[in-house]
Structure 1
Amino acid sequence: MKEKDLLYHTILARSFSKNEQKRLGYGAFIASLFFVFTLCTIFKSYLNPLPTMDTQLSVDTGLRMVRVTETHKSQAFNSNYTTTSGASESLISPTTQNNITSNVTNTQRLTSSEDDKLSVCNDTSLPKNYLDLFNCTTPTSISNEQSASDGNKMDETIKCKKQSRTEICEFNGDVRVHGKSATILSTITSAFSGNSTWQMRPYARKGDLVAMNRVREWTVKLIQNADHLENANFSSRCVRNHSVPAMIFSLGGYTMNNFHDFTDVVVPLFTTARRFNGEVQFLVTNKNQPWINKFKEILRRLSNYELIYIDGEDETHCFTTVVVGLNRHPEYFKELTIDPSYSEYSMSDFRRFLRDTYSLRNAAVSTGESLRRKPRMLIISRARSRAFTNTDEIANAAGETGFEVVVAEANTGLASFAETVNSCDVMLGVHGAGLTNMVFLPENAVVIQILPIGGFEWLADTDFGRPAKGMNLRYLEYKIEAEESSLVRQYGRGHEIVRDPSAVAKRGWTAFKSAYLVGQNVTVDIIRFKPVLAKAFELLQRRQSV
């Protein structure tokens, strides 16, 4: 024992008897327990494990952005269908200058404080189970009544959302659009130093460089108040004042491909514009007159006003609300899909909208005992690539199975073809944009997709397999053998194109497309295919709940 310890015990022995020392020890032990219990009670709320997330907090002239990055799986070949990981972001509206702590970009780890909770809950791109970690209710925008952590009110003049496939912003207040310079000027009420400027391409296939390079870039400028508008780089005096909100969207990208027409524009346009009940002015950038002619019925149904081709407008158009960009399903590899978890609408709502727009009679197919006629099968023919070379044989086999057969190519005008599709119970076609017309089929109808050689399984499932099921359609798939492809006759059974499609895919999308999408036709083996026809007929005999 050290000398100072011995001295300490000697002094203690002189001051207290042994019994008193023992009672003193017990008292000290009880006091320690009481002290620990008090600390645990006081700080209990701080000891619970809090969910955290890796975020990047960017502060730039008064804009606060919470960015959450999600990693998505990569695909087998490099194409416009193949991209790197997608990012899902939420841009929160500008806060007051008091909320800004730095003018530089910092990387931080945020916990779920009330202010950060509002930011996370406002990000509708996050999955519901993630939001549940923050005790979020249904994802909604931050309202004027909800305040930031320091007590300052959130500015609601701007609400932006950045997701893996789209960027969309809504500007409220004094909003001015100058088409010739592709500029959107919006005043905000929050105090911050200087202007904030960024660029947007209003087309819902972000991440696809080929598509986005065909979309005009727009510049957004935020100015603190209307008095500063005269200092803008273009004539900001309002020449045309509008009493209804506006929407800016592009008809560039991959438009005039039927699949992309729907998944990149028509479905996103429906989910974005439907809430206005027609009281919205469409401002079209990248004018595409054939597209407008094709979808004129849908455009008229969604807006009560004539389109404005905004790109050539040298006059400034002024609105109280402008939406730039279109909503889209937040998950990257989701096509022809509306997830009601992230939208006030569903795919059933969209298909009902199409039936109303084109006056289509059949909401669902007749099944079981109620099927009093031969079921109708539509065979989609193709004139150029991926065409059936034995259409008549396929039609005869379908007729022998019990179908009434209709053969048509999707080039008769959308309204007319929609009526044809809606009159059928089964639609059959080779993988391609023509299958997109399944959106017009009645519920419980059957879709049969023919897969050429080339490793189409992932594309087939992503583009049409899963979407068909989401539309309450029955889905069947027929994968051809090499002998059913024209590529065998062209190159021979042992050629790399026939033998090893994955090797061709490694050379890039152009090589893959040239070999399998452009250069291939299909001769269906009727004997192999008959069980698929029989299965489709059987599905229609079953009584299904609509």
Structure 2
Amino acid sequence: MVHHHRATLLLHHNHHHHHQHSKAGDALLLMLAGFAVASCLLLLLPSSPFSAAMDDLLLQLGRTRCDQESTAPTPCSAVPNGTICCDRTAPRTDVCVMRGDIHTHAASNSLFLLLPANSSSAARARAADQRIRPYTRKWESSVMSTIDELRLRAVPVPEAEPERCDVRHNVTAVVFSTGGYTGNVYHEFNDGIIPLYITARRYNKKVVFVMLEYHDWWITKYGHIVEQLSDYEPIDFANDTRTHCFREAVVGLRIHDELAIDASTMPGNQGIQDFRHMLDDAYRARIKAIVEEEEAEAGLPPPRSSVGGDTKVRRATEPLEDDKPRLVIVSRNGSRAIENEADLVRAATRAGFRVDLLQPRPDTELAEMYRVLNGSDVMVGVHGAAMTHFLFMRPGSVFIQVVPLGTDWAAENYYGQPARRLGLRYIPYKILPSESSLYWRYSSDDPVLTDPVTVNAKGWQVTKKVYLDGQNVRLDMARFRRRLREAYAHWATQRRRQQSKPL
């Protein structure tokens, strides 16, 4: 049962699944061995301190980030039958569209577009063969080399020859890979889940997901979200030897920005807050079931929230009369841990918060994480992949990110800006050199402490060793209490506004 003051929960990174996605590990090794590979991002922003976030597993050096994709209609937005069209104009991803008589062929890693044998030269030109690796980090050659390449092929078929279809679908296929950096929660959302939402939402669940490098654990972890985007069972492309037939296939996912959705490109101007509403829908039933299970175990009567269709959830141990804001500390056990975490808990309690401590564990589902963060008013954590869980906070809540030395740019671009777009009150806490464990390992005038940008410029290996793997923080509680007071004041203001609204 979850204790109302100190909850020990999962920060579900799935690092225990490395044997299930060895290609992601290979990608990391390749990147570490060949980090100097040129990328579109280095050309776009040569003066930035960091590139795409890998965070705990990988945080590339060099201020490199692709600009948001163009909002203009894509080159393949209107494709006639008998066509294979690939849009390779975006810096982050390629997307191909096939229309016509499409057949899967797992043995050759192909999608076939069947054309009549007597097709004209113009028709054959519209269906020229293409190759694509359907993953949203195309500028990173190291990780892209681990993604299965799919062949899109036009195949002339005599009209007299019957079609062979084991399963015929009357909806669109969306084809993508769950390989690459899968296993890191930031990349799972940034490179996969949000692009899947962007690409599939327009089909109103009338879409079949065809997955390369299919993982059972990925489906278990994200199945509730997948069910919000598709009415159909996903297809394990490599291991499903049946021939699946479609009239349309979209191969690859569209991506806009870090943990972001450009509403101007979406049907109904859906943005990141609409994505957040979708998460509510995805986890509502499961959270309700968890609460009822806890109530039953405790021998308590069902709460009002489980009756009559009211989907609001409370914890079994949470007193209804409790009027304090809830603050969640996302705890780290390895690098970038808060060494005086107990002091932080005491300070937050004295500031008027009810405090929950979330710790990484491999056996707590995302629905439980969502339940706790969705029911919280403030989230506090040190920069890292786990900060992706700010997506689970209600708009209007507070996100305090502790920013260690050498991570300013990454903290702002990968979590700060996206949190503001979601409607959170974002409060960064940039530590002083004296609050870093590096302070005791280097002289006070060492560039590691005085000039992290210069140190980062030495390369990814240095950044990883010094600032990501080699640094903990010890918060100056006198300074940090000011952030706690700011968070409490924001909560109080929000509460007054809600109470003043007419019923």
> What is the TM-score normalised by the length of structure 2?
0.73
1:299 aligns with 2:226: yes
Amino acid of the structure 2 residue aligned with 1:336: L
1:161 aligns with 2:84: no
Distance 1:191 1:431, change over 3 A: same
1:327 aligns with 2:307: no
Partner secondary structure for residue 357 of structure 2: strand
**CA drift at 1:414:** 0.8
Partner secondary structure for residue 196 of structure 1: coil
1:258 aligns with 2:181: no
- Equivalent residues in 2 for 1:376-525, closer than 5 Å: 376-411=326-361, 412-454=364-406, 456-525=407-476
Q: State the alpha-carbon separation in 2 of the partners of residues 83 and 217 from structure 1.
A: 29
Partner secondary structure for residue 381 of structure 2: strand
Q: State the alpha-carbon separation in 2 of the partners of residues 217 and 229 from structure 1.
A: 32
**CA drift at 1:81:** 6.4
Tell me the equivalent position of 2:493.
Answer: 542
Compare 204-213 and 442-451 and name the one that shifted more: 204-213
Q: State the alpha-carbon separation in 2 of the partners of residues 85 and 428 from structure 1.
A: 26
Distance 1:445 1:264, change over 3 A: same
**CA drift at 1:86:** 5.3
Tell me the equivalent position of 1:80.
Answer: 60
1:220 aligns with 2:152: yes
- Equivalent residues in 2 for 1:136-155, closer than 5 Å: none
Partner secondary structure for residue 341 of structure 1: helix
**CA drift at 1:535:** 0.8
Q: State the alpha-carbon separation in 1 of the partners of residues 465 and 219 from structure 2.
A: 29
Amino acid of the structure 2 residue aligned with 1:80: Q
Distance 1:438 1:486, change over 3 A: same
Contact 2:44-2:65 within 8 A present in 1 as well: yes
Higher relative contact order (CA 8 A, sep 6+): 2
**CA drift at 1:352:** 0.3
Partner secondary structure for residue 216 of structure 1: coil
Q: State the alpha-carbon separation in 1 of the partners of residues 63 and 411 from structure 2.
A: 17
Structure 2 unaligned residues grouped into runs of 5+: 1-40, 52-58, 288-310, 314-320
**CA drift at 1:358:** 0.5
Amino acid of the structure 2 residue aligned with 1:537: Y
Partner secondary structure for residue 108 of structure 2: coil
**Structure having the higher Rg:** 1
Partner secondary structure for residue 358 of structure 1: helix
Compare 388-397 and 506-515 and name the one that shifted more: 506-515
1:343 aligns with 2:266: yes
Partner secondary structure for residue 312 of structure 1: coil
TM-superposition CA deviations, 1:156-201 (whole Å, max 9, x none): 8445433121122222210112123211222467743566222111
Distance 1:229 1:503, change over 3 A: farther
Compare 192-201 and 531-540 and name the one that shifted more: 192-201
Distance 1:289 1:142, change over 3 A: closer
Q: CA RMSD in A?
A: 3.2
Q: State the alpha-carbon separation in 2 of the partners of residues 322 and 139 from structure 1.
A: 16
Tell me the equivalent position of 2:483.
Answer: 532
Distance 1:176 1:508, change over 3 A: same
Distance 1:142 1:479, change over 3 A: closer
**What number of residue pairs does the alignment pair up?**
407
Tell me the equivalent position of 1:126.
Answer: 70
Tell me the equivalent position of 2:170.
Answer: 243
TM-superposition CA deviations, 1:401-457 (whole Å, max 9, x none): 111111112542211111010110000000011111111111100000100011x22
Distance 1:420 1:467, change over 3 A: same
TM-superposition CA deviations, 1:202-234 (whole Å, max 9, x none): 1122212233222111111235x543999xxxx
